[in-house]
Structures are given as structure tokens and as C-alpha cells.
Structure 1
Amino acid sequence: MTMFDTVLVANRGEIAVRVIRTLRALGIRSVAVHSDADAGARHVREADTAVRIGPPPAADSYLRTDRILAAAARTGARAVHPGYGFLAENAAFARACEEAGLVFIGPPAGAIALMGDKIRAKETVRAAGVPVVPGSSGSGLSDAELADAARETGMPVLLKPSAGGGGKGMRLVRDAAALPEEIAAARREARASFGDDTLLVERWIDRPRHIEIQILADGHGNVVHLGERECSLQRRHQKIVEEAPSVLLTPGQRERMGAAAVDAARSCGYRGAGTVEFIVPGGAPDDHFFMEMNTRLQVEHPVTELVTGLDLVAWQLRVAAGERLSFGQDDIVLTGHAVEARICAEDPARGFLPSGGTVLALAEPGGEGVRTDSGLSEGTEVSSLYDPMLAKVVAHGPDRATALRRLRAALAGTLTLGVPTNAGFLRRLLDLPEVVSGDLDTGLVEREAAGLVPRAVPDEVYAAAAALRLAALAPAPGPAGWTDPFSVPSGWRLGGTPAPPAFPLRVPGHEPVTVTAPAGHTVGPTSVSVVLDGVTHTFAHAGQWLGRDGDSWHVQDHDPVAALLGGAARAGADTLAAPMPGTVTVVKVAVGDTVAAGQGLLVVEAMKMEHVISAPHAGTVTELDVTAGTTVAMDQVLAVVTPREEAADD
């Protein structure tokens, strides 16, 4: 078969950049597509050509089949690579590509439709002899039927969207009384993420491990598995760290799970790269239950590539072009260990809420055994429109300890000033004794998260910020290199003790402080060092941002008068502000409504995540500044709830 000469990449961000890299290596011309928000994005610059497909919202651009097919026709593309997310697991899109004479680089549309419906998928693989998690049966269950199925299965249960994946819309419910509200929320998230609010119920397995098997199938009946990935380190049911192989499995267990994954792939006539996901009771690794099959390339595919030496994107292309696999199961050898960490636009100090902003300074790690897949560049605008994952840092070594050590060092060297990320949190997570020993389960991160987020801003951060402010006050030398000594901000006073300038500063979420620059400091164009108690602390800096060891701080100038006036404007009321940039999707109250403490008033969605805005106390809604569909910025006022006693006095 002849390899394609031009391939359109129907995605954005780091996965688009990663696919383009392999296309370039194979000598294949790449076509990028982009919304207006991504006109200057890295994947656009690195492709051979690029086509605009619409305005920023994904529904008007990256999810528009007609515009993507038109872009392929205009550029002469013969095939489409969907990446992951967006239309990657959309059977209608795969069929539309075929009808347009394009090769869809993925499985047949029938396999996507079958495995994309988690209910039908479970029934299909069960018939093939693959064990499945107990839970509801049948599709299209009503809210009442789902609640009945949950009670029959036994609490706690997991509510899951039948379509899609990535943890979107999944809800762990421990109390049957909460089922109505949780079902409604899960439906909203599923509908927003996948356009389908069908749900199913599964038994919650306590302290489970999430292990998935990578499979590869050609169009000639050959199917192999490429070993497993451990994906148990998760937040909100979304993976943040993955590794290959798993420390849990013995060779015999790996062989049995791999065989089950191959059976699942054969049951749906699979072709290309795919992943079969299993849940494994932590105390019984001989047991494994099928959860779902992802009919696409996985975010975590690099760890499999590093331990097998295979380029999975290249094999997706070869299989789509009609080639046979050139190896069998006995030829697959796992060498060493690989661990991946997902860098996401989220702020650990604000409860891991999605973040945004402009990338002012960027440093991405490399070196021996380290790989970074990224869609970032300096100047990139990170908005709430798309998925929060920005990059992946991956480390490989001859053993797990080496891979973890290299990854921790790589995360310490990761810098994304201007956009809060989880890099520092991930570095500390990888140093937990449970992670180092491999004693993992899907609840570990949630249990330990609070202890991995520093509660206070280190003193040296404020000292470095003050040093930068002081340096900014220094006058530039005159034409002859002479500086007026009276213009130097030294704090010198006639006949008195020098009083160096003090700077009122504030990091969002923390109380303001007033600090002076320490005597020992050095300020450069991109770094600043301060000496406190004989210890030198060095930070990268850009604008009002400081960064070190994967952490970053936005140290703002604090105006106490403006803050006081701003607070006076809201005297006697509690203001509810947007915790993240996003869109208001639900408004449950109106001005004049009486609300109880903790009552949900609004829902803000950003980066495919919902956040409920609740009343801080019992009272009356005296101001409501948004409606459903309103786009809001971080800290924008949403509503005001006046405490009940004060409302009664009005």
C-alpha cells in the first residue's frame, strides 16, 4: 500500500504538535486546522500549512465536521488524524471522512460507535468472555431508573456517561439521598462534553487501581497488546500521572489481562491503536474488570512508546494505509520504566480550579531520558475554551526509581510563568512514600492533595518581588555612564538611618504584606536571587510572576486605599465572584430569593469542568449580575447574598 502524502490533523495543542512531529519524520505533508483563538498557536506554526475553521468556541470550529472536511478538500489531504478529544471518538465524523473519500486514521466507525457506548460495550465484551464491573444494564435509563439501579447495585456507586471519557461527568455517590442531584449534574456535564447525557451505574470498587492495556490491530486480522499502563494517580477521576509497566502485575497477570484486551478488541472488529481499560481491586490483582475501551490514541501513549521503542502514531498511519503489523506478540519486549506527568492549567492553591492567562516565560525540560510533548510557546493565550492540559513531561530510565527521579527533576525545571499550573504539585506528589513504593490506588491523590499544596507564600518570594520593584526604581545611567546618587532608591536620609522603600504586595488568595528588599539580592533580565538567613534563593521572573521548582506566584502590587474603597462598596453584603474564567451554565435563583447556607446558586463551567457557586450563609439574594450563558472572567462579581439579619433591617 502507498503511504499518504498529505494528512490533516483535526485537533490542536500538544497532540497536534506531537502528530505533526511524526508526519514530518515520515516525510508526510501536514495540514493544521485552527480557530481564531489559535491563529498563532504552535501547532499552526509547525504544520506545513494551516486552515482557519471558525471562531473560538469548539462547537463552531474544532467540532464542525463540515469545516474540517472542507479544509481537507482545499489542501489535498488524503487522510485525517483526529488526535484525542473533540471528534476522535465520533463515529459520525469517521463515516463522514469515509464518504468524502478520506481515510480516517482510527478504527472503523462501527467499532467507535460500539465501544463509545459504554453500555453496549460492556454487553459485547461480556459475551466475548471478558469480566465486567457489576452495575446497570440497558441504555436510555431515566433518572428514576438510574437511581433504582444504583440502590440495587449497592452504595457507593459511580455514575458514568455512556459516551466519551476522560473522567468528564463521572460522579462518585455514597449517599442514596444525593442521587437525584448527582444524576442531574452528571447529565449536564456529559451533555456539555459529549452532546449525549446517557448515563450508566457501576459498583464502586474501594481502593481500586486503574490499569489499561494498549492494543494495536491491523486490517488483516492481527491484534497484539503492548503491555499495560498504571493510571491510578487521578484527581476528579482524571489521570494526572501514568507509568509503564505497572509494579502491581506479575508476568502471568500481565499475560491474562493482555489476552482479555485482545479479545475485547476482536469482539468489535477493531483496527489501529486503542486502549482497553480495567479496574483492579488493590487487594486482589488477580481480578480485573473491563471498564471501557478508548477507540483512539491515549494521552499517556508516550510511556508505552518509551518502553517498547514503537512510534504509535507512525503505526496508526501504517495500519490506516493498509500495512500489516511487522511483529507478533512474542516480539513485544518492555525495556525499562517510563512515567508521565500531565501539566494542566489549574491552580492548586485555589482548589485546583482551572486557570488561564498569557504565557510570559516558558522553560520545558529535556535531556537524557526526558521527553516533553507540548503545545505551548511564549505568548500563548490559555483560555477557558479548551481542555486544561497544556503539556506532558515524560521520563524513562532503566528502572522505576531512575524514571521517577528524572521526572521529579524535569518537573522542577518546568516553567510556565503567567499561567498557574500543577507542575510543582506533581513534583511533590511523585515524592510521596506511597508513590515511590508503588502502593497506589485511584483515591490516593485526593487523600493526600491538601498536604501537597503549600498553605503560605514563602518569605523569599516576597523578598524577591521587592528586589524586582526596587530594581525597577533605579535610574538609568546618563550618557557618560554617570548616575545621580540622589536618584538612587537607597533610602538615604540626611542625618538619619537609611529607610529603604517598602512595597505593599499581595499574592491572590493570601493576605497582603509590606516588605523591603534584602541587602543581598541580584536582579537579572530573567532571574532574581535574594539572600535570607545566609541562604540564596533564585527565581525566574517575568512581569509580576516568579517561578521556582515548578511552582509560580503572581505577586501583585497592593493598593490598600483601593482595596478599602472596594470593600466599602459592598458593605453589609457577601460578594460571590467567579473562581475561574468560564461560562455560567445554570442559574438557580433570582434577586429577592431567600437562600440557605451552602445552597447551590449558580454553576460555572470552564475547561469541561463544573463548579457550583454556593451561598456562604443564609440570607437574601440582593444582586444577580449574570444569566445562563454569560461568559465571566476570574473574580468577576456573580451575585451578592446579604445575611439574613441585615436583609431584615433593610
Structure 2
Amino acid sequence: MSRSPRPFTTVLVANRGEIACRVIGTLRRLGIRSVAVHSDADAGARHVREADVAVRLPSRPAVSGRSALSNGEKGAERPLTARTGYLDVRAVVDAAVATGAQAIHPGYGFLAENPALAQACERAGIVFVGPGVRAMTTMADKVTAKRLVAGHGVPVLPGTLDGGLSDAELLAAAADVGFPLLVKPVAGGGGKGMVVAGSADRLAEALASARRVAASSFGDDGLLLERLVDRPRHVEVQVLADTHGTVVHLGERECSLQRRHQKVVEEAPSPAVDAETRARMGEAACAVARSVGYVGAGTVELLVPADDPTSFSFIEMNTRLQVEHPVTELVTGVDLVEAQLRVAAGEPLWFAQDDVRLTGHAVEARVYAETPARGFLPATGQVLVYDDAGAAAGPGASPRRLDSGIAAGSVVTGDYDPMLAKAVAHGTDRAEALARLDGLLGDVVVLGVETNVGFLRDLLADDAVRAGRLDTGLIDRFLTTRPEPSGPGAPGPARGPDSSVPVVAAALLALAAADGGPAGAPRGAVAASEVPGPWAQDGWRLNAPPAPRRVVLADGTGAPHVLSVVGTPEAAVVTPEGAEPVSASLRPDAAGTAHRWSVTVDAVTRTVVGAVSGRLALPAGEKGARRPLTGPGEVWVHVDGRSSSFTVLDRSAAAARQREERAAATPTARGAATTQVRADMPGTVAAVPVSDGDHVLAGATLVVVEAMKMEHALVAPHDGVVGTRVRPGEQVRLDQVAAVVERAADPDDAATDITTDTPPENVPAHPPADSAGPAAEAHPAPVTAQTEADPATTGAT
């Protein structure tokens, strides 16, 4: 069938981050004018720069139907909150009308599955690039959806089929469903609000947490219960349907590698699905689409028992593009965004089911702004260095593809989903695809914000992953069994015999910055051409041995690394505390590339990418005196395919840490030791379920913090009497004291100042990704009695 050169002339993209950039890329290829929308916080974001036109979303509906364009006119609306604008249906449609857009593409997350946007588009004479209102509303209600598809012969999991049940009714129904079970919001997707309850005594707390998240994320606190399947695989089928009655599927994707109900790694095709099962799954998925008159791209999610991959049950249907759609594009050659646009324009599909061929294998890994060493909590900061390793974006990129929403200078906040990019690789077979993906992850550099790249590389190297023995609980098991975690903030800055290299490189970079590099300016970075000159401090003393300079670095876990350095960064002897001295040097990259250095440690030279943020300087003192490096400041290094970050501690900072530890462990006048419970991440206090003076048991939830659309529970580290320091609705900073717990002094058990780095069994932790566009799919979960990832549902994030 012939296709028109371009189905529209102007399309508005109602999203941000990675998915907005992805859609804009296809629009550019088709010659379609693109319109971006943005909040005040995103005025300089990458998707805004890449679009042909950018429109500022006002914080309140524009007067007389006029939109506030990004023109800096006087009298503009007050600054909007980071999220509100992207969820404002009227503002988005006004922006489309003002710019002459014929269609609106919602991406995923935000308004992508909101029927109100589709209805508003219809009233304004604008095409909504997505399914009709009936399909969205039916599939958005998981109870209605299960009833409908069951009537069309599609198998479903046992559970409740009434979304309006009260807590008491759900508690009563749980006995019939059976434990362990999954508590799921009736609305929404992306795994948000889902909580596993392993037993009846955990269910009440799980219901409360799930309702909180459901109400705040979807505006609907309705819940349902679903039987939890032991060791399930999560498999989904991509469908496409046009307005002429044609429905096809593009094969399946394996999405079993999840953490806290959020997908981490996806691939196509599934290593567990044979041709016969693929055909049955595809037929079932097409039946689901036909049951609601579906139009456009959609995904039918299925639960597959790991011990019986030929059977499957319907979980839900996502009525939008999935985060993991690139793997399907690479094995089928179909640009799914282009297909969405052409179907929305009324064009028939240009291929039939028999034309679909799966070629090779593709694997995708989601790069999140998070700290693996602190329970994968969301990370924030400014991107100082970004190197995409030459990998292009979009469906035309192969065999290595990098869809990203960031660039150097991007600011990552806690307002949106933490997904920064998606690394994708294609190969003739699964082994080649995995190898290429690992290589891409090792080459991509993001400095200034901690990411999960090191963890992803460790996960892809796991024997079970490489063998394709997957289920939704694999990552949880992997985290408890892997011997040497690595990556930013891990207990050791890198793996293997060269683990000292990142620390030594960081120390030399810090000294180079302190001796006159541009890092003296706030949030600056050291460039490779800025090596200090001959008058830099090197510890030289007349008629005396060189004086060592002391550098104290704290890694992502807070563990200190104390080093003594004699000489200049170009020619130094570095002595880590408790270790033998090593000769080391830091020199500019031979090609003169900014932020790239050659670091030599004991005669072995490596290329290092490095950056320094914050302020580093050597304080003035008596003539000839040599004082320690001072801060605050952070040093970032990428070496051997892994990135690490270190905080530079001056003498006063190191002493302050020691004082805090001593104070926390010192009995008070009442004879009790006090333990401070600190916020693991910046965010908003969602709940404080305890009161001052309450006696709590170890593991009890004291404060619930919401960030990046996820909840994280701060728990009591031991039994004792609690004192709260925050209130619901309050904004908290990273490491802010949220509560204290006092216990009777015990000489054998000194209290310490803690952050809940490793939550007890009842606390999942995090978010992903579909919600706000990149990560419009994201993490921390609420309280759960069982940390095993939900077999059943992880929408697309």
C-alpha cells in the first residue's frame, strides 16, 4: 500500500524528556513541523531545543483562550509547578490551537491515557494520536477490562472484579483470592501503587499505601486484589490497529527483569516463547484490541508462569506507546511512532499479519538517575558531562541506539520520573545483542548525576540473565547474592584488582581543580586543558622532605577514602590510608578532548573522563604551610566503563561527621541513645503514621516521603520511643533528620546516625517510568510484606 509523504504538517508533542525527543525525531524525518510544550523548569530542556516551536505551559488556564507562548511578554501567568502544566488539558490544547497543530501526540505518562485530552482534542478539531475514548476508559479500569476480555475467551488471573470495594471488603475478599496477593490500583499503570502482601497481617498497611499512591498519581484510589503467581515471567504483545478494521501484532517483548514492579531491562523476542505460543499470544492480544474497537499502537500485558511458558493470563492493556517500544522496532523494522501518526490520520496499515517478520534480537536497558548503593533511591543534580558514545537515536539507529532526553547542562530534579535514557542494542542473536548492549553502557558517560549504569552491566553479566532464565523476582535475588556490587556509590568504587584507580584519579582531579582549574566556580568542571602550571602547590620545602597533601574523599555510601599526595597531579606519589604508595599522574588527553584525561597508576595508563562540581580551593594560611583540600565539592570519574562520584571533605567536614556519630551514640540524660532517621532523598512528606512519644518496633514506618511520583518509607532502625521532626506536606532535603528514635542505653549496641540505606523487608523502595515521560515510568514503592517484584504487572514505564 502507498503511504502519503506526511500524514500531518504540524504535530504538538504533549510530553517532555526522552519520549518527547523520540517523537520529535520521527516528525523531523517525515518533514512534519514539531511543537514542544514546557514548564518553566524545562525552558532550556533538550526537547525544547530540538522542536521547531516551543510553547510555555501556563500555571493556570490562559485568559480568553489565549496561550502563553515562550516570548517573555509582560503579564505572563505566575510560574507553574513542575508537573502541573503537563497535566493541564486546556493549556495543551490551547497551545496546539495557537501554533496551528493538526494533531497532538501524548507520548507516554502525563496525559497519554487521559480520556479528557482525547475529548478536548475532538472538540477543538484536533486529532488525538491514540485510541478512542471508549478503549481508554475501558482498559483504564482494570476490573472492567478483565471482565471484558474474559468474555472474549482470554484467560485472566483470579482476583476481585469490583473496583469500588472498601478496605474492610478487600480484607474479607483476600481469603478467597489467597496469599500471597497483589494490591493494584484500578486506574493507572507503570507499576505505581502496586504492593505485595504476603500475609493477612500485612494487608491493611498495604491497602493504605496503595490508596495513597493511587489517589495522588491517578486521582482514583480504587483498588483490586490479584493472586500472586510464583516466579512469573512478564511478557507483552505489541498491537497495531487502523480505522479500517485491520488489527495486527508485532510479536512479544520479555519484560521480566523488574525492580519494585518497574521494568529495568526488556527484550524482543522473549527467549521463552516459541513460534506456536507466539501465535496464540498474538491472537489473544488482537482479540483484546478488537473487543474495544482499538485504534493505534497498544500493548497487551500477559503473565507467564516460569515453569510453563506455553500458558499465559491477561494482566492489562496499556493504551499508549510503551517505553520499551524500541526493541520491537529493531526486530520488525517498523517505526511505531510513524505508524501511530498514519493510523491517526486515517491511513490503512501498509502491511498485513503475514508480512510481519522478526529479525535477530534486541535488548533495552533503562538508564535511571538513581543511587544503587542507597537502595536505588532517585538521584538529582546537574549533568556536567554527557557522552552518547556516538550512538544515534530513533528506529533508524542500529545496531546501537540511545534514546535520551538529556544533554550536558541538563538539571535532573525530583519533580519527574528518573529515567534519563534508554540504551538499546540489536544482534543476529541474543548473545550478540547482550554483548553490544554491555559495550554501549560502558561507553556512555553521564557525570554530575548518579546513575544505575554500573548495576545494569553487572545484571547483564549474571548467568541466569545470559541464559534467559528470567522471572520478575530475579533482580531481587540478584541483589542479595551478587558478591561485589559496583558502580557509583557502591562499597568499592570499581571491581577487580584496579579498584584504586577511580579513587586515585578522583584525588588528582580534586587537586588539579583546587590548584587553579575552572572548578573554582560553583558547579564548574575541570577541562582536560586546565592542568595547573609550574607554580602549583606540590609540597616542596627547602632542605626538607616534600610535605604530603591530605585528600579525604567520601564515596556514594559515605565511606571515607583518605589519601596523601606528594608532588603535582602530573607527577605524584599517592598513598591511600593503610596501603602502599603508588606512583600516579594525571595528564590531558592527547587529542585535547575536554574532560578526558590520561591517568597512570603504577605504570598502567587509562583514559578517564572526569569532572568537578562545587567549590574547591586551598585555604590561605601561614607562609609555606600546606593545608588539606577544602570543600564542599564533588569529583566524578568514569574509568573502565564505570562511573563513580566522591565528595571532597575538608578537615572541618570530616570532624563534623565524627561529632555527629559520637553525639548519636552518646546516651542522653534520660539514659537512652538517640538514633536519627534521615531522608534518603529530597521530596514531600506524604504521611507521618506515628506521633511523638509512641513506642515503635524495629521496621515500623515513621515517615513516608514522596519523590518522582513514588513513595519511600523511612523506618525505625530499632525498638524505641519516636520523636517526629517533619509534618505531612513538608518539603525535606536529602539527609534531613525526619525522626529520632530513643532506646535504653546498651553497652553492646551503640546507636549510630543512619539513613535507611537498606530498607527492611517491609519497605520496597523506589520508582520508573511511564509516568512522566521518561521515566514517565518510575520507583519507590510503598510498604510491602514481600520484596519480590510483582509478577503481574508492570505497565510500561
TM-score, normalization by structure 1 = 0.94
- How far, CA to CA, are the matches of 2:500 and 2:363 in structure 1? 33
Contact residue 34 and residue 61 of structure 1 kept, 8 A: yes
Equivalent residue, structure 1, for 2:292: 268
CA deviation after TM superposition for structure 1 residue 27, in Å = 1.2
Letter of the 2:705 counterpart: V
3-state SS, counterpart of residue 519 of structure 1: strand
Give the one of 162, 167, 182 matched to 2:186. Answer: 162
Equivalent residue, structure 2, for 1:49: 53
Letter of the 1:430 counterpart: L
Give the one of 265, 270, 286 matched to 1:241. Answer: 265
Deviates more, 1:196-205 or 1:255-264: 196-205
Equivalent residue, structure 2, for 1:640: 740
Equivalent residue, structure 2, for 1:133: 157
- How far, CA to CA, are the matches of 1:463 and 1:94 in structure 2? 56
- How far, CA to CA, are the matches of 1:352 and 1:449 in structure 2? 11
CA deviation after TM superposition for structure 1 residue 474, in Å = 4.8
Equivalent residue, structure 2, for 1:318: 342
The yes-or-no answer on 1:278 pairing with 2:302 is yes
Give the one of 372, 375, 395 matched to 1:351. Answer: 375
**Structure 1 605/321 Cα, relative in aligned 2: closer, same or farther at 3 Å?**
same
The yes-or-no answer on 1:412 pairing with 2:513 is no
Equivalent residue, structure 1, for 2:485: 453
- How far, CA to CA, are the matches of 2:246 and 2:492 in structure 1? 56
**Structure 1 93/472 Cα, relative in aligned 2: closer, same or farther at 3 Å?**
closer
CA deviation after TM superposition for structure 1 residue 427, in Å = 1.2
Contact residue 41 and residue 82 of structure 2 kept, 8 A: no
Deviates more, 1:633-642 or 1:320-329: 633-642
Equivalent residue, structure 2, for 1:479: none
**Structure 1 83/472 Cα, relative in aligned 2: closer, same or farther at 3 Å?**
closer
- How far, CA to CA, are the matches of 2:533 and 2:192 in structure 1? 61
CA deviation after TM superposition for structure 1 residue 645, in Å = 4.7
> What pairs up with 1:60-459 in 2 under 5 angstroms?
60-367=84-391, 369-450=399-480, 451=482, 453-454=485-486, 455-457=491-493, 458-459=499-500
- How far, CA to CA, are the matches of 1:399 and 1:184 in structure 2? 45
Deviations 1:37-69 (A, max 9, x none): 111000011111111113453552111111111
Equivalent residue, structure 1, for 2:508: 467
CA deviation after TM superposition for structure 1 residue 606, in Å = 1.0
- How far, CA to CA, are the matches of 2:122 and 2:346 in structure 1? 15
**Structure 1 560/590 Cα, relative in aligned 2: closer, same or farther at 3 Å?**
farther
The yes-or-no answer on 1:630 pairing with 2:730 is yes
3-state SS, counterpart of residue 86 of structure 2: coil
- How far, CA to CA, are the matches of 1:408 and 1:97 in structure 2? 42
Deviations 1:329-376 (A, max 9, x none): 000011111111111111101110111110010012345511111110
- How far, CA to CA, are the matches of 1:63 and 1:534 in structure 2? 56
Contact residue 107 and residue 321 of structure 2 kept, 8 A: yes
Equivalent residue, structure 2, for 1:523: 587
Letter of the 1:468 counterpart: L
Contact residue 468 and residue 528 of structure 1 kept, 8 A: no
Structure 2 gaps of 5+ residues are 60-78, 392-397, 494-498, 518-531, 566-573, 575-581, 589-593, 613-634, 667-673, 747-797
- How far, CA to CA, are the matches of 1:449 and 1:57 in structure 2? 36
The yes-or-no answer on 1:536 pairing with 2:605 is yes
CA deviation after TM superposition for structure 1 residue 492, in Å = 2.9
**Structure 1 338/475 Cα, relative in aligned 2: closer, same or farther at 3 Å?**
closer
- How far, CA to CA, are the matches of 2:515 and 2:56 in structure 1? 46
The yes-or-no answer on 1:606 pairing with 2:707 is yes
CA deviation after TM superposition for structure 1 residue 549, in Å = 4.8
**Structure 1 408/562 Cα, relative in aligned 2: closer, same or farther at 3 Å?**
closer
**Structure 1 160/22 Cα, relative in aligned 2: closer, same or farther at 3 Å?**
same
* Larger helix percent: 1
Structure 1 gaps of 5+ residues are 477-482
Deviates more, 1:508-517 or 1:155-164: 508-517
Contact residue 217 and residue 223 of structure 1 kept, 8 A: yes
Letter of the 2:650 counterpart: D
Equivalent residue, structure 2, for 1:22: 26
Letter of the 2:649 counterpart: H
- How far, CA to CA, are the matches of 1:539 and 1:484 in structure 2? 21
Letter of the 1:540 counterpart: V
The percentage of counterpart residues that share the same residue type is: 55
- How far, CA to CA, are the matches of 2:559 and 2:253 in structure 1? 43
Deviates more, 1:185-194 or 1:337-346: 185-194
**Structure 1 164/565 Cα, relative in aligned 2: closer, same or farther at 3 Å?**
same
Deviates more, 1:569-578 or 1:300-309: 569-578
TM-score, normalization by structure 2 = 0.77
Give the one of 36, 39, 54 matched to 1:35. Answer: 39
CA deviation after TM superposition for structure 1 residue 592, in Å = 3.8
Deviates more, 1:587-596 or 1:357-366: 587-596
- How far, CA to CA, are the matches of 1:423 and 1:155 in structure 2? 35
Letter of the 1:460 counterpart: V
**Structure 1 384/153 Cα, relative in aligned 2: closer, same or farther at 3 Å?**
same
**Structure 1 245/508 Cα, relative in aligned 2: closer, same or farther at 3 Å?**
closer
- How far, CA to CA, are the matches of 1:640 and 1:537 in structure 2? 46
3-state SS, counterpart of residue 287 of structure 1: coil
Deviates more, 1:459-468 or 1:81-90: 459-468
Equivalent residue, structure 1, for 2:648: 557
**Structure 1 147/309 Cα, relative in aligned 2: closer, same or farther at 3 Å?**
same
Equivalent residue, structure 2, for 1:480: none
**Structure 1 44/549 Cα, relative in aligned 2: closer, same or farther at 3 Å?**
farther
Contact residue 464 and residue 528 of structure 1 kept, 8 A: no
> What pairs up with 1:588-607 in 2 under 5 angstroms?
588-607=689-708
The yes-or-no answer on 1:511 pairing with 2:543 is no
Deviations 1:458-481 (A, max 9, x none): 3222211121133345579xxxxx
Letter of the 2:227 counterpart: R
**Structure 1 365/176 Cα, relative in aligned 2: closer, same or farther at 3 Å?**
farther
- How far, CA to CA, are the matches of 1:545 and 1:11 in structure 2? 31
Equivalent residue, structure 2, for 1:489: 537
Contact residue 242 and residue 300 of structure 1 kept, 8 A: yes
Equivalent residue, structure 1, for 2:395: none
- How far, CA to CA, are the matches of 1:348 and 1:289 in structure 2? 32
Give the one of 9, 13, 16 matched to 1:9. Answer: 13
